[in-house]
Amino acid sequence: MTQRLTPRKTIGLVAHDNKKADLTEWAKFNLRLLNLHDLVATGTTGSMLEEQLGVKVRRLKSGPLGGDQQLGSLIADGQIDFLVFFWDPLEPQPHDTDVKALLRLAVVWNIPVACNRASADFMVSSPLMLGDYQRTLPDYREYVERFSGQD
């Protein structure tokens, strides 16, 4: 089974505190391209991007207050096409389990993920970014059937 991604994609944006400046610089450099897509971000990151770039961003709660989980829910519901998550691997995060869960959901649902500027640059410069794409959806029916009723 596949999901058609149109040329206008929904991009999730997240950055840990020590990476917010990096994400802002990256977004400024790619502003023309980002304006062609719908942006969703966790609270503080979204506010910062709106202020610095003058773009409309759908803002969720701050990451530690549930924003990472909200973004994960949007991924699980097929509403996020691409995730840019500039995370800080050297700084402990009080909501580290939420961070890992968000990255896990992106992998589970076959969402492209960029975790640093280099990977984000490679991904947004791909011809797939501005074209149609048939994303393969994982088939979890067997998993659901095996574990249904075990709540």
Q: What is the number of other CB atoms lying within 10 angstroms of the CB of residue 80? A: 22
Instruction: Look at the alpha carbons of 101, 11, 2, 87 in this order and tell me if their dihedral is positive or negative.
Output: negative
Residue in 17, 22, 38, 68 annotated catalytic: 68
Tokens of 135: 């994303």
Whether 133 and 8 have beta carbons less than 8 Å apart is answered as: no
Active site residue 68: yes
Secondary structure class of 16 (helix, strand, coil): coil
Please report, as a single letter, which amino acid is at residue 119: S
Of 111, 36, 46, 47, nearest to 73 (Cα)? 111
Whether 13 and 27 have beta carbons less than 8 Å apart is answered as: yes
* Active-site annotation, residues: 68
